[in-house]
Amino acid sequence: MPHLLDWHGLDDSIWKQQLDAALLHHRAGTTWSHAARGKSIALMFFNPSLRTRTSMELAATQLGAHATTLVAGQGTWSFAWDEGVVMDGAEAEHINEAVGVLSRYYDALGVRVFASMTDYEKDRSEQLLHTFAQAADVPVINLESAFHHPCQALADAATLKTHFGDDLSGKRLVLAWTHHPKALPMAVPNSALLMASRLGMDVTVARPDSYALDPGVMAQATSYAAAHGASVVEMDDLDAACDGADVIYAKAWGGPMVYTDPDQEAQIRQQATDWRITADRMARTQNGVFMHCLPVRRNVVVDDAVLDGPQALHLLQSEFRLHAQKAILEYAWDLCTPANARNGHALNGHALVSALA
Ligand code: CP
């Protein structure tokens, strides 16, 4: 069963097609889609969300489909994940049954399940996301997992193309690590890095020494950039990174030390309050724009003057979440078409009505 778990697992042609579709939904303001009519998706959230949840629900409704949102453990049973587990504790239902049941009701499933922040190998290998996807008989859309946020990446790519035009070669995006009171997962920085390098942008990862991104993700990004004659470099000087940049993409993340020495990581992070996007830093750019996936902590990650100023693109990014979700839903519907017969039905619902008529 094909899924949308991350973009780098899919052909370049699919990535480009989805990007074009998101841009088209923005231009056309599409509110109805033949492909979506009568389709359904269940959205399972193991973690909070404002943008992903609402944009996916609204995208489905505007296209003519139905979305059901489930918040795991709040109005559903609590789920067990492990194979072979003896379920004599708090968890009343195994994820295998939950996903198996939803696969029989819905044409596609979405899931948000964040990083553990305690087990690097489990997070890097996307263990929970893959467990969920393997239990599904319908396409699964990743609504943000331990290491990737493909919905955000597509919206960000469409935002960049809308702002700068189709050709992003020669543009430089700074992926700027910022201070944050909490150690956050790496899904968004990973996806932003892969997205920008796949678009052929030059990328500077500006971060303190202890906050390296995963070597596999860095290697994939370097390979994308090389295919365009572009580059991926790392710096530990945020001011210098901002000099002449076209985009400052700010994001806090915990880095590998969270897994090996969380107390030390917390100490380093708490002392790094100067890693913040200020008006002075934006002034060092080449009329650059500020991006952030949101939610963002004002005057911790970025100053009010930047967020409320003319260089801020964060609300356009959020708007593009809706356009991108429509493109992603249509992709999922395409994947699920052969699954109409998965329950042994010879006819889908519309064909049945026609046949009876
Ligand atoms: N950017 C993003 O995914 O926002 P939510 O966590 O609110 O969905």
Domains defined along the chain, listed by start? 12-148+319-347 (3.40.50.1370), 152-316 (3.40.50.1370)
Mean pLDDT of 189-204: 98
For residue 152, the model assigns a pLDDT of 98
Handedness of CA 110, 114, 119, 125 (dihedral sign): positive
Percent of all residues in the chain with a pLDDT value above 90, rounded to a whole number: 89
Given ligand 1 and candidates 141, 149, 293, 320, which is best to mutate, with the most ligand atoms within 8 Å of its CB? 293
Protein residue with its CA nearest to atom 4 in ligand 1: 51
Burial, 90: exposed, middle or buried (Cβ in 10 Å; 0-12, 13-18, 19+)? exposed
Task: Please give the distance of CA 145 from its chain centroid, rounded to a whole number.
Answer: 8
Q: What is the mean pLDDT of the chain?
A: 93
For residue 37, the model assigns a pLDDT of 84
Mean pLDDT of 288-312: 98
Burial, 285: exposed, middle or buried (Cβ in 10 Å; 0-12, 13-18, 19+)? buried
Compute, in angstroms, the gap from residue 321 CA to the centroid of ligand 1: 9
Mean pLDDT of 149-163: 98
Compute, in angstroms, the gap from residue 78 CA to the centroid of ligand 1: 23
Given ligand 1 and candidates 54, 111, 141, 144, which is best to mutate, with the most ligand atoms within 8 Å of its CB? 144
Which secondary-structure segment (H or E) carries 251?
strand 247-251
For residue 272, the model assigns a pLDDT of 98
Query: Computed over its alpha carbons, how large is the radius of gyration of the chain?
Result: 21
Percent of all residues in the chain with a pLDDT value above 70, rounded to a whole number: 94
Q: 30: Cβ below 6 Å to ligand 1? A: no
pTM: 0.94
Flag whether pLDDT at 345 surpasses 60.
no
Least confident range of 118-132, 284-298, 323-337: 323-337
Protein residue with its CA nearest to atom 6 in ligand 1: 49
For residue 32, the model assigns a pLDDT of 75
Compute, in angstroms, the gap from residue 21 CA to the centroid of ligand 1: 21
